[in-house]
Amino acid sequence: MTQGEINEATVQAVLEEFKDPETGRDVVRMQQVRDVRLDGNRLSLTLALSTHSAVLWEETRGELVDFLGAKLPALEDIRVELAVHERPPEKVGEIGLTAKSVIAVGSGKGGVGKSTIATSLAYALKRAGSKVGLMDADVYGPSIPHLIGVNRRPEIVNQRIQPIEAGGLKVMSMGFLVPPGEAVVWRGPMLHGAITQFLRDTEWGPLDFLVIDLPPGTGDIVLTLSQLLPLSGAVVVCTPQDVALLDAVKAIAMFRKVNIPLLGMVENMSYFICPSCEKRYDIFGSGGARQRAAELDVPFLGEVPIEMQIRIHGDQGRPEGVFDEKAIAAYLESICHRLVKSIADQRRAEPPLPSLSVLG
């Protein structure tokens, strides 16, 4: 294509082929392209992206520059500015929850650091610029209150539970309602009622992401969630040793049985680097989750090593503090990026149908 063949109509036609990472639809139709200026072989424009895609903003900018350069090779200079595109979430399911993506974090067994990973993902999403809620669905062993350093009862306003605000997150947990040390002894119907109330009666407000920390194993709560609302997908956390991987496989089978998409696996406690000699020790084995993810056709989101600072910040109720440790933050931010990328790739491949308003 020669320089003379490039005009605004040509640029518009190319932009219509580029898909928004949140909706999977073209950015022109979604009114996310602004201030298009074509000056000879120089092009500048503004691409507006929602906070749901905050983790992917810079990557999406780069993708658009490369896309335009490949489609319009006569262009010598392409500049893309970013802006915020306001797109409020719609109600999810029939319970009134307003969240764009609901992510369940589960594991086949306890003791693999599932709650720590769920909390870290929530904070990573929030730090990137997204609006995030964190729901502790581990009714029997709620550990989120300890991890975030909060131990108080939520307020009730107009018969709505007000989630606890912790470092910019909206958080709800049975641990806020039950005295420390007291056991919850409930049967299935009571669990169903509690989870339903956490979702329906909590004033979550508009969220980009609701991260749900599931109890370990393959119990009733996953079935309840699958019936209450369409989940964007699940993340399975495990450690490298065989016994944990066996249980992780069962968790994956459970999610597939109830038609919850698998967004990926995370290998926690992957290895330990001795701070004195910097020698690596594979205490629980190495690479087991990556290998099993490949065998099961599940994305591998990344690994997190055994790091003392993760334990220290969790025990101190300062989970966001791990992001001040550059080495640890890199692992968690990479996992968060791959997670949101997995959701974006799904939506670009199969954009969800737009909702239609019913005219009365």
Q: Report if residue 280 sits inside a domain.
A: yes
Q: Does one domain contain both 77 and 129?
A: no
Question: Tell me, what's the pLDDT at 117?
Answer: 95
Pair 70, 174 in one domain: no
Residue 353 has pLDDT above 90, yes or no: no
Does pLDDT of 137 surpass 90? no
- Boundary-marking domain end, from 84, 107, 135: 84
Whether 360 maps to a domain, the answer reads: no
The pLDDT assigned to 187 comes to 58
- How many Å apart are CA 268 and CA 112, to the nearest integer? 7
- The pLDDT of residue 57 is 97
Q: What is the mean pLDDT of residues 218-235?
A: 84
What pLDDT sits at residue 224? 82
Q: Which of 340, 331, 238, 329 is nearest to 290 (CA)?
A: 238
Using the predicted structure, report yes or no on whether residue 356 has a pLDDT greater than 60: no
Helix or strand or coil: residue 59? helix
Residue 143's pLDDT is 87
pLDDT at position 350, please?
83
Q: What is the pTM of this model?
A: 0.90
CATH number for the domain harbouring residue 193 = 3.40.50.300
Q: Say which CATH number the domain at 46 has.
A: 3.30.300.130
The verdict on 79 and 119 lying in the same domain is no
Find the range with the poorest average confidence among 47-56, 122-131, 349-358.
Answer: 349-358
Domain boundary among 65, 84, 103: 84
Pairing type for strands 33-39 and 42-49 reads: antiparallel
What pLDDT, on the 0 to 100 scale, is given for residue 46? 97
One domain, residues 40 and 159: no
Average pLDDT along the chain: 88
144 and 292 both lie in a single domain = yes
Distance of CA 40 to the CA centre of its chain: 41
Same domain, 101 and 77: no
User: Which of 84, 105, 137 represents a domain boundary (last residue)?
Assistant: 84
Confidence of residue 357 (pLDDT cuts 50, 70, 90): very low
- pLDDT (average), residues 189-216: 88
Instruction: Indicate the helix (H) or strand (E) that contains 115.
Output: helix 114-128
User: How many domains, the chain?
Assistant: 2
Rounded Cα gap, residues 154 and 282, in angstroms = 42
What mean pLDDT comes out for the span 63-77? 95
Report the alpha-carbon distance of residue 93 to residue 95 in Å, rounded: 6
pLDDT, greater one: 219 or 194: 194
pLDDT tens sequence across 284-340:
877 888 888 899 999 999 999 988 888 888 888 898 888 988 888 999 999 999 999
Q: What is the pLDDT of residue 354?
A: 61
Q: Residue 310 is encoded by which pair of tokens?
A: 């993760």
357 found inside a domain:
no
pLDDT the model gives residue 1:
42
Q: How far apart are the C-alpha atoms of 116 and 213, rounded to whole Å?
A: 9
3-state secondary structure 144-211: HHHHHCCCCCCCEECCEECCEEECCEEEEEHHHCCCCCCCCCCCHHHHHHHHHHHHHCECCCCEEEEE
In this predicted structure, the answer to whether residue 185 has a pLDDT above a threshold of 60 is: no
pLDDT tens, position by position, 50-65: 999 999 999 999 999 9
Percent of the chain predicted with pLDDT > 90? 52
Q: Residue 129 pLDDT more than 90?
A: yes
pLDDT-derived band at 234, boundaries 50, 70, 90 = very high
Q: Which domain holds residue 77?
A: 3-84
Residues 144, 78 within the same domain = no
Q: Is residue 249 part of a domain?
A: yes
pLDDT (0 to 100) of residue 3: 45
**Band of residue 108 on the pLDDT scale cut at 50, 70, 90:** confident
Q: Do 51 and 125 sit in the same domain of this protein?
A: no
Q: Is the same domain home to 72 and 106?
A: no
Rounded to whole angstroms, the Cα distance separating 134 from 209 reads 8
- Mark whether 164 and 285 lie in a shared domain: yes
Same domain, 205 and 317: yes
pLDDT given for residue 323 in this prediction: 92
